[in-house]
Chains A and B, each alone.
Chain A
Amino acid sequence: NAGVTQTPKFQVLKTGQSMTLQCAQDMNHNSMYWYRQDPGMGLRLIYYSASEGTTDKGEVPNGYNVSRLNKREFSLRLESAAPSQTSVYFCASSAYRAQATNEKLFFGSGTQLSVL
């Protein structure tokens, strides 16, 4: 019973390098999310995908791109990494979204990214 799986768990990049964070869920959820967590800032939404084939910007989308590859997978790409993108990244999923939802989010275990 995997839930939400993120890879890699740790990554160190040099400024300007690119990379893709992978996320997959096996719960047949419609909605998927990418958050970043910084000390004292809580979680901030980067991008989300309400359903397969759609993606939308969250609170802090600059410097990131996403792809909803299929219903299971939602990837986050850093095209040119910057030190300000050093953070812990969490992928999450939920069954569906609505105007105001009480849906539970299921989180992956996170990717710790350092950009030097």
Chain B
Amino acid sequence: AQSVTQLGSHVSVSEGALVLLRCNYSSSVPPYLFWYVQYPNQGLQLLLKYTSAATLVKGINGFEAEFKKSETSFHLTKPSAHMSDAAEYFCAVSLWGSQGNLIFGKGTKLSVKP
């Protein structure tokens, strides 16, 4: 069974518009959750992570994500898209019993139109 699902393999927004990238996880125990970003021809970089300290997590470059246990979701948002946000975004989960390995979603490619 898939542990993390990203809805939408490709999202396109206009510059200045809201960015919403969706991630749902399947776990009976609250996991650690992460968002990573991959710019073209680069490795992944951590945007933010949820570690149970606070449900609203702020990351780099104006991104934030909210952990909602009732919805098993960890959606990524940014109020106003910038051209430089164009990249692929990966949600990842670290589960108890996985020996610390991250399980990645399939990724969402964000395009930003001028």
Contacts and interface: CB of A to CB of B under 8 A. Distances in A.
A109 B38 CA distance: 10
Interface of A: 4, 31, 33, 35, 40-45, 48, 50, 56, 58, 90, 92, 97-105, 107-110
At the interface, is chain B mostly helix, strand, loop or mixed? loop
Contacts of A100: 31-32, 94-98, 100
A6 B49 CA distance: 25
B55 interface: no
30 contacts: A41-B106, A42-B90, A42-B104, A42-B106, A42-B107, A48-B101, A92-B43, A97-B99, A97-B101, A98-B100, A99-B96, A99-B99, A100-B32, A100-B94, A100-B95, A100-B96, A100-B97, A100-B98, A100-B100, A101-B32, A101-B94, A102-B32, A102-B51, A104-B46, A105-B36, A105-B46, A105-B102, A107-B43, A110-B41, A110-B42
At the interface, is chain A mostly helix, strand, loop or mixed? loop
Interface residues of B, number: 26
Interface of B: 9, 31-32, 36, 41-46, 49, 51, 90, 94-102, 104-107
B43 A4 contact: yes
Contact of B45 (A33, A44, A45, A107): A107
Contact of B100 (A43, A101, A104): A101
Contact of B9 (A40, A102, A105): A40
Given A90-B44, A107-B45, A109-B41, A43 B101 contact: no
A30 B46 CA distance: 19
Nearest to B49: A102
B105 A42 contact: yes
A105 B44 contact: yes
Contacts of A90: 43-44
Contacts of A48: 101
Nearest to B106: A42
